[in-house]
Amino acid sequence: MIALLHTGAANFPPNLLSRSRQAVSPLFPAGVLEGFRSIVSRKLASHGFGASMAAMSSFPPQRYHYFLVLDFEATCDKPQIHPQEIIEFPILKLNGRTMEIESTFHMYVQPVVHPQLTPFCTELTGIIQGMVDGQPSLQQVLERVDEWMAKEGLLDPSVKSIFVTCGDWDLKVMLPGQCQYLGLPVADYFKQWINLKKAYSFAMGSWPKNGLLDMNKGLNLQHIGRPHSGIDDCKNIANIMKTLAHRGFIFKQTSKPF
């Protein structure tokens, strides 16, 4: 029977695995069953099932199919310049079942009101002038975002997704403010999000005053990359989310309806 199940493991439906274990368990020692489970897990992973059964079972069900982790970098100076303009636009598509990154959108944006980056901005973000010169405008980047969302199946009404940011600034202040200044519409999918700081405070019982640095420290995580790099900040957000989900936290929308 074990040999039969072994040879058919590649086509063995995942939802029947628990039934097979129940049927086999009275007949075979625990060590044999553990070996069988390991074989089936490897077979499933090698035939396109993605994460191993162990990884899938280690996270509680989330309310969303996908989390879209976003972290803008914008023009800045001391004292602050107005209006600020988005210069880095990264998004990570995080699978809500496995909490693994499945796809990345990442573009730099040409500022138009203050096209020359200040030394303060470059020192803070690591973005130099050559990284934004000749890049698409915000309007063009937003069009590319929409194309990427469609390609990734995120515009399908049956697919539940939500943006995740470290704070409310990105989608409550920065994007709508710049779009209003430029006379651009804001897509509905940008109008609801999860503020990771609030989620962390619900899960851990303390407010992360220093943002990602405090959250990484509180969860004993190593900081990834450079602080204030948009794409690196997204990776840290994703890592924090995965850790909280592994501890049983269920993420919920924190923004209020527009």
* Phi (first) and psi of residue 68, to 5 degrees: -110, 100
73 labelled catalytic: yes
DSSP state of 121: H
Fill in the amino acid letter for 98.
T
CA angle 169, 214, 212 (to 5 degrees): 40
Annotated active-site residue in 34, 47, 73, 147: 73
CA angle 187, 193, 196 (to 5 degrees): 145
Using only C-alpha atoms, the chain has a radius of gyration, in whole angstroms, of 22
The total of other beta-carbon atoms located within 10 Å of residue 86's CB is 23
Question: Cβ distance 112 to 82 under 8 Å?
Answer: no
Collapsing DSSP to helix, strand or coil, 242 comes out as: helix
Q: For residues 172 and 179, what is the distance between their CA atoms, to the nearest angstrom?
A: 12
Q: How many CA atoms lie within 13 A of 52 on its CB side?
A: 10
Annotated active-site residue in 85, 88, 152, 228: 228
Strands 66-70 and 86-95: antiparallel
Question: Cβ distance 219 to 207 under 8 Å?
Answer: no
Question: Cβ distance 103 to 94 under 8 Å?
Answer: no
Q: For residues 135 and 147, what is the distance between their CA atoms, to the nearest angstrom?
A: 17
The residues assigned a catalytic role are 73, 228
